[in-house]
Amino acid sequence: MGLIKITCDSTADLSEELLNQYNIDTIPMYINLDGKSYKDGVEIYPEDIYDYVNKTGNLPKTAAVSIKDYLDFFGRFHKDYDAVIHINLGDQFSSSHQNAKIAAGEFHNVYAFNSENLSTGTGHLVLEAAKMAEKGFSAREIIEELQSLVKKIESSFVIDTLDYLHKGGRCSSLAALGASLLNIKPNIEVLNGKMEVGKKYRGKIEKAINKYVADRLEGRTDIVTDRIFITHSGVSDEIIENVRVTIQNYQSFDEIVVTRASCTISCHCGPNTLGILFKRK
């Protein structure tokens, strides 16, 4: 029985508790701010980004993990394990996966896997891989299972403001202005490895989020109910509790896990974003 190590990017948005429970190591992405580079979740945190944007009106830039960083990272584990499986942020969102693949090619037992997802959409895959590794599955079996799971992950978020997407060049000035004037809260979905705009909600973020959760869960029989993530970029405890209650009104999940989005995710979506992320059958 081989010993398998599971690793991921900081963008998987898993809590320290979960990372420790399953012996998962993460590698941080970078946030570039005023000519300096900071490690996501190590040297900079989402509130630092929000403060910077509020003060300067400028959005920091996010940067991928370098090949050298991946070489150093994989080098810490490859001798002690039969295989290392690294699960990346989707390759449509960052060049990190490409860099990880190049670095993995330098080792005989390191595999870089493209999650085609972000945040705890990736996190679901990381946890599934870690559970399989604990049970003694081979690297090939884990990767095959991950490949079948990729299309079954349902990731979406409701965004309070389009300002951050606009500043990051992912949304036009006109769209951002229109959303602000009409008080529109768009639902952003991950489809085929890319971000798409789904349903648009009107009104306050609290109301929009509750409607979004109901729309996602009500009457569905195709959901795997072992685990659902509530992942947010900084919302009130009251909103999180309302979401928890709303989830339970529509589906009976074994586990509702609340996690906080990393700097990289927060930098693109801005504050008051919240998503529910789960698996389909």
- Residue 65: HSE in the Cβ half-sphere, 13 Å Cα cutoff: 30
pTM here is 0.93
What are the pLDDT digits (tens) for 99-116? 999 999 999 999 999 999
Could you tell me whether strands 36-39 and 194-202 are parallel, antiparallel, or unpaired per DSSP bridges?
Answer: unpaired
pLDDT at 178: 47
The mean per-residue pLDDT over the stretch 213-238 comes to: 97
Does pLDDT of 62 surpass 50?
yes
Task: For the chain, give the mean pLDDT.
Answer: 91
* Residues sharing a CB contact under 8 Å with residue 135, sequence separation 6 or more, in sequence order: none
Phi, psi (5° rounding) for residue 95?
Answer: -85, 5
What are the pLDDT digits (tens) for 244-277? 999 999 999 999 999 999 999 898 888 999 999 9
pLDDT at 202: 86
Domain ranges of the chain: 4-150, 153-280
153-280 has CATH 3.30.1180.10 classification? yes
What is the chain's Cα-based Rg? Answer: 19
pLDDT at 179: 53
* Residues sharing a CB contact under 8 Å with residue 34, sequence separation 6 or more, in sequence order: none
The DSSP annotation for 202-248 comes to ES-HHHHHHHHHHHHHTT-SSEEEEEEEEEESS--HHHHHHHHHHHH
**Minimum mean pLDDT among 62-66, 102-106, 169-173, 276-280: which range?**
169-173
What are the pLDDT digits (tens) for 138-159? 999 999 999 999 999 999 999 9
% of the chain beyond a pLDDT of 90:
77
**CATH code for residues 4-150:** 3.40.50.10170
| Exposure class string for 62-78: b at 16+ Cβ within 10 A, else e | bbbbebebbbebbeebb
Alpha-helix residue ranges (DSSP H) falling in 76-138:
96-104, 119-134
- Dihedral sign for Cα atoms in the order 6, 11, 12, 18: positive
What are the pLDDT digits (tens) for 194-212? 888 888 898 889 999 999 9
> From CA 256, how far away is CA 251, in angstroms rounded?
11
